[in-house]
Amino acid sequence: MIFVGEGALLRRAVTHAATRGHPVDLVCSADPLDAAAAEAPHLAAADVNAHADALARACTDGIVWSLNNRRIFREPLLRADGLRILNIHNGLLPRHRGLPSVAVLFALLNGDTEYGATVHEVDAGIDTGPVLAEHRFPIGPEDRFHQVMLRGIRACHALFEQTLPAVAAGTAHPVRAAAVGPSAYYGLRTLDRLGTYRDHPAYARATDLGPFAAHAPELTRALLPAASHSGPATSRPPAGHRHPLAAGAHEDEQVAFEVDAVTGGEEERARRLEGVAVVGLQVLHQHRPGDRGGSVGYESHTEMLPRSHRPPE
């Protein structure tokens, strides 16, 4: 299996697959720590589509998982022989296509009564491939952005665990095409309409980002322009609105599980990086602590982390 994406959701999926005995052939992300738990090769590439041949060679079972991934899969990766690309999408399809952060915000503004997660096959469109399964949950009348987003992330993780056995066994098949029901796409341009909702009764809870403020810069930027352009004495947000950047800790103590806000500190990060190779492009080498020289994979070189980035012995 190959995993493409970033953050806690990707890392936990990689860990879960490895602990269940599934092959983790390669992890494509910006952070080598994402591959460390599975002791898997890591590929840091700005565009995985440029390495379709390398991915096809690396994958032993033909399965590619996309989790918390903003990269769009294109040719020739989409038509690579033997690869089946599956995306775990934070949102119900086709109603909540696009960026989950934007979709959750507008789901609240639009008065949606349910949200969830979807696993679907990846095609040439954006979140338009056939749906294999979904995980739904209700949106309450008082639910806020950070609560719905957190439940969506949990639903993604649960859906991955539920569908992994069938996908690995080759028995997971589409239950319907994603073109069923009302379709909507939520991208960065959708945020241009946000200003027209400032008097909306759901605006305060729809923009209460809470701990997700640090992980949704597109939303924090969209919520700040009025203040930045008007000077210090600016128009104020609607009554009852809590500024997303000032929102404190919330009642759910499990936020750290799903949100990559806290990684354990720099010392812990350095300790976990001990022996993890810094890789790039087709550098898929892994060095394990205790190895003399490690094991080289594929066709490029590897540079180990500088000693200054490792913990003291």
User: Percent of the chain having pLDDT more than 70?
Assistant: 70
Phi, psi of 114, rounded to the nearest 5 degrees: -150, 155
Give alpha helix (H) positions in the chain: 7-19, 33-36, 52-58, 100-109, 145-169, 203-206, 217-223, 225-230, 255-258, 265-273
Please, which residues have CB within 8 angstroms of residue 310's CB and are 6 or more apart in sequence? 270, 273, 274
Say what angle helices 145-169 and 100-109 make with each other, to 10 degrees: 130
Per-residue pLDDT band at 104 (split at 50, 70, 90): very high
pLDDT score of 180: 63
pLDDT score of 132: 96
CA 245 to chain centre: 21
Among residues 277, 224, 219, 233, which one has the least CA distance to residue 99?
219
Q: What is the pLDDT of residues 7-58, one digit of tens each?
A: 999 999 999 999 999 999 999 999 999 999 899 999 998 899 999 999 999 9
Please, which residues have CB within 8 angstroms of residue 267's CB and are 6 or more apart in sequence? 311
Residue 233 has pLDDT above 70, yes or no: no
Using the 8-state DSSP alphabet, how is residue 187 labeled?
-
Among residues 30, 16, 14, 76, which one has the least CA distance to residue 51?
76
Among residues 136, 125, 127, which one has the least CA distance to residue 93?
127
Secondary structure tally for the chain: helices H, strands E: 10, 11
Contact 262, 26 (CB under 8 A): no
Q: What is the pLDDT of residues 237-263, one digit of tens each?
A: 444 444 443 333 333 334 444 444 333
The whole-angstrom separation of Cα 278 and Cα 300 is 12
Measured from the Cβ of residue 269, the count of other Cβ atoms closer than 10 Å reads 14
Give the highest mean pLDDT range of 173-187, 190-204, 254-268. 190-204
The whole-angstrom separation of Cα 277 and Cα 289 is 11
Strands 84-90 and 114-121: antiparallel
